[in-house]
Amino acid sequence: MEFNTITESLEKINSNKISIVELNDIFINRIKKNKNLNAFIYFDEENISQQIKKIQSSKKNFKLKGIPLAIKDLFCTKNMPTTAGSKILQNFQPSYESHVSQKLLDQGSIFLGKANCDEFAMGSATNTSYYGNTINPISPRGSQLVPGGSSGGSAAAVAANLCLGATGTDTGGSIRQPASFCGVVGIKPTYGLCSRWGIIAFASSLDQAGVFANNIADTAILLREIAGYDNKDSTSANREIPNYFENLNQDMSGKVVGVPKEYILPDIPEDISKIWEQAIKSLERGGVKVKNISLPHTKYALPAYYIIAPAEASSNLARYDGVRYGFRSEEGTSLDEMYELTRSEGFGKEVKRRVLIGTYVLSAGYYEAYYMKAQKVRRLISNDFNEAFNECDFILTPTAPSPAFPIGEKEDDPIKMYLNDIFTVPASLAGIPGISIPFGKSQNGLPLGIQLLSKHFDEQLVLNAGLYLEKNNV
């Protein structure tokens, strides 16, 4: 029996062709055999066993009964430590469960462990985690490629079949880009669709929970379970959640796809241009009309993001001060000294850089020139999308400007890393939903991803388009 998809596995569990224990054992064993990938920060078999017992003894009608999932270590989990990939939260044990992960538990899913991620979600290669790099499972023999980031552990775990699905968070591309690098599906929903309560905050106006899975159908199932209003999150949207899975429809005829000219960069690798073309052609064959559109402020998205996100992060990370939880430096003799040493030792380089940038752009004399300016540009970018959606139903772009690259590359210059997010950041700034689906391979046989964007709360459309392309991937 194959257990590569949630749909298949659910069917087998519900028809008793396999028990929850047996199903999860398959994945547990795979995890143990693939420790070298370092996809998990926390993995404990006894913990899994407890979870399974609980599900088995329950009479509830679960929608994700026994399905093994990985949870990005940015989600606070009651029964597993939560580190955010940082030293400063090493051994932090939340007494509470994030809203999103609770919803998954409520549907009977099994958490196999906490997936590795860039520290405080800051990174695009899962190379800033205090707990080491994660290795992309598709790395050819003899090489170690990055899985993308910040949700690299989650993407890798799904790609390596260590689980059937995973949660991630996407602030500037942290689900879509690793999905592309690892060859899996990853979706960042509309801002506000999923609750942020219990997710360790990086940049509050950009963070969104999302999921990874092996295919669109599984993605749709998972998305439905994590989406929904939460009155504990004041930015949560109070909307009815469609049954994305049941509504899946790959008939795209009559739809209009926008191809933004500003995403055609001079230095895009040829293989990426090629898959972009192929995707467009494939959609055309499905009856989709292609429209060239313009998103004029695209090139300002990354700079705007790298002002706004660090600014919000510098404030969100102020609470990591060694007073109430987490790591505290033993050496400080005064409160301020303790703060400085704790945070200096507890945070890694990238986090420190971003906190410093964030502090600077908010500081007296610079607020208007940087932060406010960036928020104004953000409005322009958002307006670009609003205008564009008058002319098309969804937008198609590559997900990333390259396939997965070797670990250690691009680490000399922070900006090189930041450029990984060039195609994903604009959608984050506008809050619109985006999905990356694997589409084609690079010259070296590495997975490439295509990104689909739609209007706010039109997740169904990108799932449908994704399904079409999944089935018409030539």
Partner 1 sequence: MKIDKNTTLKIAKLCRIKVRDEEIEELSSQLSSILDWVEKLNEVNTDNIEPLNNVSIATLPLRKDKENLQDQSKEVLSNAPEKLENYFAVPKVVE
Partner 2 sequence: MSSLIQGKFSKWETVIGLEIHAQIKSNSKLFSSSSTKFGSSPNSQVSLFDAAMPGMLPVINEFCIKQAVKTGLGLKAKINRYSVFDRKNYFYADLPQGYQISQYKHPIIGEGAVTIDFKDGSSKDIRIVRLHLEQDAGKSLHDQNPSKTYVDLNRSGVALMEIVSEPDLNSSHEASLYITKIRSILMYLDTCDGNMQEGSLRTDVNISVRKPGEELGTRCEIKNLNSIKFIKQAIEYEAMRQIKIIEEGGIIEQNTLLFNPQLGKTKPMRSKEEAHDYRYFPDPDLLPLKLEDDFIEIIKKDIPELPDERKKRYINEYKLSNYDSSVLTIEKSISDYFDKVLGCHQDLKKSAKLVVNWITSELFAILKKNEVEIHNSPITPYNLGQLVKLIISNKISGKIAKDVFEDMYKNSLSPEEIVNSRGLAQVTNVKEIELIIDQILKLNYDKVNDYKAGKTKLLGFFVGQAMQISKGKANPKILNDILIKKLS
DSSP string, 247-270: T-----TT-EEEEEGGG--TT--H
Catalytic residue among 98, 109, 150, 180: 150
* CA–CA separation, 200 and 344 (whole Å): 19
Residue 124 near residue 174, CB atoms below 8 Å: yes
Selected binder of partner 1 within 63, 291, 353, 441 (CB under 8 A) = 353
Asked about 232 being catalytic, the answer comes back as no
Contacted entry of partner 2, partner 1, none for residue 237, CB cut-off 5 to 8 Å set by kind: partner 1
Contacted entry of partner 2, partner 1, none for residue 201, CB cut-off 5 to 8 Å set by kind: partner 2
Asked about 139 being catalytic, the answer comes back as no
Closest separation in Å from C-beta 188 to partner 2: 17
Q: For residue 182, give the nearest of 443, 427, 399, 411 by alpha carbon.
A: 399
- 423 part of the interface to partner 1, by CB under 8 A: no
- 335 part of the interface to partner 1, by CB under 8 A: yes
Asked about 49 being catalytic, the answer comes back as no
Tokens 């028809």 locate to: 15
Count other C-beta atoms under 10 Å from residue 153's C-beta: 35
Structure tokens, 78: 């009651």
Q: For residue 69, give the nearest of 135, 145, 9, 119 by alpha carbon.
A: 9
- 234 part of the interface to partner 2, by CB under 8 A: yes
Q: For residue 96, give the nearest of 110, 114, 115, 82 by alpha carbon.
A: 82
Burial of 331 (0-12, 13-18, 19+ CB in 10 A): exposed
Residue 167 near residue 210, CB atoms below 8 Å: yes
- 255 part of the interface to partner 1, by CB under 8 A: no
Selected binder of partner 2 within 197, 389, 439, 468 (CB under 8 A) = 197
Contacted entry of partner 1, partner 2, none for residue 420, CB cut-off 5 to 8 Å set by kind: none
Contacted entry of partner 2, partner 1, none for residue 84, CB cut-off 5 to 8 Å set by kind: partner 2
* CA–CA separation, 214 and 69 (whole Å): 12
Contacted entry of partner 2, partner 1, none for residue 82, CB cut-off 5 to 8 Å set by kind: partner 2
Question: For partner 2, which is the closer residue by CB, 130 or 181?
Answer: 130
Catalytic residue among 101, 174, 236, 314: 174
Rama region for 85: left / alpha / beta (φ>0; ψ in -120 to 50; rest): left
Catalytic residue among 12, 65, 72, 188: 72
> Distances from the Cα of 332 to the Cαs of 53, 184, 339, in angstroms?
46, 46, 8
* CA–CA separation, 438 and 135 (whole Å): 18
Selected binder of partner 2 within 1, 264, 318, 356 (CB under 8 A) = 318
- 46 part of the interface to partner 2, by CB under 8 A: no
Q: Scanning residues 427 to 446, which ones bind partner 1 (CB under 8 A)?
A: 429-431
- Please name every residue paired with 169 in a beta bridge, in sequence order, or none if there are none: 209
Per-residue binder mask for partner 2 (CB under 8 A), 95-134, x = binder:
xx-x------------------------------------
Q: What is the pairing mode between strands 256-260 and 208-213?
A: unpaired
Count other C-beta atoms under 10 Å from residue 79's C-beta: 13
Q: List residues near partner 1 by CB under 8 A.
A: 92-93, 95, 191-192, 205, 231, 234-238, 297, 299-300, 303-304, 306-307, 314, 318, 321-328, 332-341, 343-344, 347, 352-353, 355-361, 363, 370, 372-380, 382, 413-415, 429-431, 456
Active-site residues, by number, are 72, 150, 174
Q: List residues near partner 2 by CB under 8 A.
A: 75-76, 82, 84, 89, 92, 94-96, 98, 196-201, 203-205, 231-235, 311-312, 314-315, 317-319, 321, 323-325, 333, 335-336, 339, 359, 362-364, 367, 371
